[in-house]
Structure 1
Amino acid sequence: MEIQDVETFYNDEFQVKNVRKLIRSARAEEIAERTKLDSSDGHVIDEHDQFYRDHKLLLTLFRILAVMPVQRGKIGKITFGWSSLPMIYAYVFYAITTIIVVLVGIERFDVLLNKSNKFDEYIYSIIFILFLLPHFWIPFVGWGVATEVCDYKNGWGFYQLHYYKISGKNLVFPHLSTLIIVLSSGCLIVAVIFLLTLSALLEGFTLYHTTAYYHIITMINMNCALWYINCRAIKNASESLADIFQRDVNDHCSAYIIRHYRVLWLELSELLQAIGNAYARTYSTYSLFMITNITVSIYGFTSDILENSITFSFKQTGLLVAGVYCFILLYIFCDCSHAASEIIVDKVRTTLLNVRVNDVEVDVRKEVQLFLTALRLNPPTVSLKGFTDVNKELMASVSFTTFRLIKSDGRCLMESPNGRFVLFKGPRRVSQADRF
């Protein structure tokens, strides 16, 4: 159900005037009184928008990185404009960082094309170049989806107000603001430590080279944190909805109340689906990037083992860490989506199934059936605009595909007579002498 439809439902004078006739309870009268709150009033939205207050630090950090230049342009509303102050800052920041990335990228390509005679140097050069690519996607996967992200964020304001209208309480997100501080600090610290360690241990990777990667690695970590925070917020909202719904069904089981909760649940389900639609470009490229890095890293790791056995040298450890790092980020991305999709249905369905339909009035029985039908016909899945569903099955598919690519010997990296590495379409099996 669209937000406009929800608003029409709440403002239907027939519903309000016939509350006493339908259910004749003080609880229903409270709900009817709160439905008079104006959802178009920014001050009313802002008063109940706890989610924005808890996670505005995250939005600020994305503005600093020039990835998502949105702002609270109006009271109760997040806005985006191509000529806004955050966007002007993004243009300047992106131009400066692009110069640095291009200069470092030229040097990394030089290492790849002219100096990489050893297998580990070749693989590391490929990985370092791959980690520069996300910078050039920012206008497409960040700025290009900002309007849709604003719609999604503003949807939270409407949902929280509707939650208050029915429950009489503001929706809360336990420890969310503290968690965001911890995650944001961790994303930055991990990026700095990771790059400084590489600079100290890898020959040819200077401190100057690290300047091109700080904002990229931080952005990659922050994207994972952003997705986790959004899914955790859905989980908190689902648990709160299920708890208050169970209490009201136990104490005030009426068709009027169940109908309102059905509308509220449909809106929460739409919020979950809106995540994938709003961030489809961002997380499609994010997933492809992770899959590519996992494949390259694990391929390099296994190939070095075939040549030198397991020595846990720095080059082996570095490739393994790079692969595991990307695998963990991709796992978090898939797992939290899967968890949010499950919890949004389970508790509510359990409450409905526990209603003794033979002991309630006909209109209550009808509303229970309609609610169960809505749960069945509107499965809350996270889809990246139809390209793929984000769940544990996606993670299993990625793992299987990566394994098959590494296992296949159809395309082998061979060394040419002049000592340079080239891609060679060889037979599935190669001699031990030709292996690295």
Structure 2
Amino acid sequence: MELKDIADLYGEELHIKQIPKFGRQSPRAQEIAKRSKLNSADGAVIDEHDQFYRDHKLLLALFRILGVMPIERGKIGKITFGWLSGPMLYAYVFYTVMTVVVLMVGYERMDILLNKSRKFDEYIYSIIFIIFLVPHFWIPFVGWGVAYEVCDYKNGWGTFQLHYYKLAGKNLAFPYLSTLIVIISLGCLILAFIYLLTLSALLEGFTLYHTTAYYHIITMINMNCALWYINCRAIGNASKALAETFQADVDHYCTAYIIAQYRVLWLELSELLQKMGNAYARTYALYSLFMITIITIAIYGFTSEIVDHGISFSFKEIGLLVASVYCMVLLYIFCDCSHQASENIAGTVQTSLMSIKLNSVDLETTREIELFLKAIHLNPPTVSLQGYSDVNRQLVTSSISTMAIYLIVLLQFKISLVNIRS
């Protein structure tokens, strides 16, 4: 059930106003009521409390430079997108130039695959290098095409942080997030350069000119994983702060009014997690398929070399193994941080609610506790890619199962060919 459905079911604002006055006369409740007068539609007010944007704006700037997600802080408190905006015009030019480079390099890689590759390992590497060019062509679909949904998700953070301030009396904090983003961003850029320059030096036929088509692609792949991790970490920080504030208030002010306010805020955070999955559904659905494809081909190439020549640990074998492990790590990070974000939202708050002694509170408060638990049950915080797949640790195991099936089939063909030749 969506947040809107639950809000309609409970009539949140009307419901809170109907809570008996004695539940809204405590000093804590009066503080909340006073801050509730802040206007959520005022961009200046949103901007004042939008710490998440200030912490991760470097990440957004890097995606604009890559021409992947041309969104901007168009006006105070709002992230906007337009097909004729400055970042979008830059993205058109950047994408056009890089498309020319990618097509030129791709043509040469295809020529190497079809006419110059003689050994099996050369075929495998050529196929992998061609597949690594594919993400460039899905940028308009998974980047520009979802920009409006991403803006809606990002702006949802500003509203949530203001509502958190109204309830908690302090701004939401994201410890070390800005420093972590700087480190991760530099790491993504440096890894891309080191990886491609190393391949150019060690692989025959992979020139420095060829690397020019891959820098933005490898960086984008790394940055997509970093972006997902940062978003999930931010939601984890928010859920932890909400749970700690809720526990402190329940310990001292366990009233129906307080619990109802936290229920609305919790539902908003749960909706934010769902918005994240829906906004990036195209991006990370293709991202996962791309990772599974690379892992399958790389492991197949590695095991085929072992079948043909035994374990020699040549550079090409190690390269295939490293490529598969690298993509496995990225896929695991993508699934695991989503799982942890979902667990963090529900777990601690639900434990706090279950620990309240119902015989020590009034009937109205008991009813609010039951409504809160029911809201958690009806609106489980899961990351779903628009309903096509839930992103959690089970996705890792299902992906491994899928890859194992394809590997078994491919290796059976390989072994059959070896037997025929012998």
Structures share fold, TM-score greater than 0.5 = yes
Q: Is the 8 A contact 1:11 1:35 kept in 2?
A: no
Q: Deviation per CA, 1:17-69, whole angstroms, max 9, x where unpaired?
A: 97743342000000001110000000000000000000000000000000000
Change (3 A) 1:266 1:4: closer
1:246 maps to which residue?
A: 247
2:338 maps to which residue?
A: 337
Question: Aligned pair 1:357/2:358, yes or no?
Answer: yes
2:266 maps to which residue?
A: 265
* Structure 1 residue 265 displacement after superposition: 0.3
Distance, in Å, in 2 between the alignment partners of 1:378 and 1:154 is: 21
1:153 maps to which residue?
A: 154
1:422 maps to which residue?
A: none
Distance, in Å, in 1 between the alignment partners of 2:354 and 2:5 is: 27
Q: Is the 8 A contact 2:165 2:171 kept in 1?
A: yes
Question: Aligned pair 1:214/2:215, yes or no?
Answer: yes
Unaligned runs of 5+ in 2: none
2:316 maps to which residue?
A: 315
Question: Aligned pair 1:28/2:34, yes or no?
Answer: no
Q: Is the 8 A contact 1:160 1:170 kept in 2?
A: yes
Distance, in Å, in 1 between the alignment partners of 2:319 and 2:208 is: 18
Where do 1:109-148 residues align within 5 Å? 109-148=110-149
* Structure 1 residue 429 displacement after superposition: 4.2
1:388 maps to which residue?
A: 389
Number of residue equivalences: 419
Structure 1 or 2: more helix by fraction: 2
Distance, in Å, in 1 between the alignment partners of 2:12 and 2:75 is: 24
Q: Is the 8 A contact 1:51 1:156 kept in 2?
A: yes
Distance, in Å, in 2 between the alignment partners of 1:17 and 1:380 is: 28
The percentage of counterpart residues that share the same residue type is 65
Q: Deviation per CA, 1:353-391, whole angstroms, max 9, x where unpaired?
A: 100011110001111111111111111110101111101
Distance, in Å, in 2 between the alignment partners of 1:235 and 1:364 is: 27
2:409 maps to which residue?
A: 408
Q: Secondary structure at the residue paired with 1:78?
A: strand
2:56 maps to which residue?
A: 55
Unaligned runs of 5+ in 1: 414-427
Question: Aligned pair 1:281/2:282, yes or no?
Answer: yes
Give the letter for the 2:405 counterpart. R
Change (3 A) 1:410 1:297: closer
Q: Is the 8 A contact 2:235 2:273 kept in 1?
A: yes
Q: Is the 8 A contact 2:79 2:151 kept in 1?
A: yes
1:186 maps to which residue?
A: 187
* Structure 1 residue 15 displacement after superposition: 5.0
Distance, in Å, in 1 between the alignment partners of 2:387 and 2:98 is: 33
1:72 maps to which residue?
A: 73
Q: Is the 8 A contact 1:290 1:326 kept in 2?
A: yes
Distance, in Å, in 2 between the alignment partners of 1:61 and 1:329 is: 19
Where do 1:190-201 residues align within 5 Å? 190-201=191-202
Change (3 A) 1:161 1:200: same
Give the letter for the 2:98 counterpart. T
Distance, in Å, in 1 between the alignment partners of 2:197 and 2:370 is: 59
Q: Deviation per CA, 1:372-424, whole angstroms, max 9, x where unpaired?
A: 111111111101011111011010011111112112258635xxxxxxxxxxx
Q: Secondary structure at the residue paired with 1:408?
A: helix
Question: Aligned pair 1:368/2:369, yes or no?
Answer: yes
Distance, in Å, in 2 between the alignment partners of 1:37 and 1:211 is: 51
Q: Secondary structure at the residue paired with 1:379?
A: coil
Q: Is the 8 A contact 2:38 2:45 kept in 1?
A: yes
Give the letter for the 1:145 counterpart. V
Q: Deviation per CA, 1:220-240, whole angstroms, max 9, x where unpaired?
A: 000000000000000000000
Distance, in Å, in 1 between the alignment partners of 2:144 and 2:195 is: 27
Q: Is the 8 A contact 2:304 2:411 kept in 1?
A: no
Give the letter for the 2:90 counterpart. Y
1:37 maps to which residue?
A: 38
2:173 maps to which residue?
A: 172
Q: Deviation per CA, 1:128-154, whole angstroms, max 9, x where unpaired?
A: 000000000000000000000000000
Q: Is the 8 A contact 2:24 2:30 kept in 1?
A: no
Give the letter for the 1:360 counterpart. V
Distance, in Å, in 1 between the alignment partners of 2:337 and 2:384 is: 13
Q: Is the 8 A contact 1:10 1:35 kept in 2?
A: no
Q: Is the 8 A contact 2:384 2:390 kept in 1?
A: yes
Give the letter for the 1:275 counterpart. M
2:205 maps to which residue?
A: 204
* Structure 1 residue 16 displacement after superposition: 6.0
2:347 maps to which residue?
A: 346
1:420 maps to which residue?
A: none
2:95 maps to which residue?
A: 94
Give the letter for the 1:407 counterpart. I
2:106 maps to which residue?
A: 105
Distance, in Å, in 2 between the alignment partners of 1:293 and 1:386 is: 25
Q: Secondary structure at the residue paired with 1:73?
A: strand
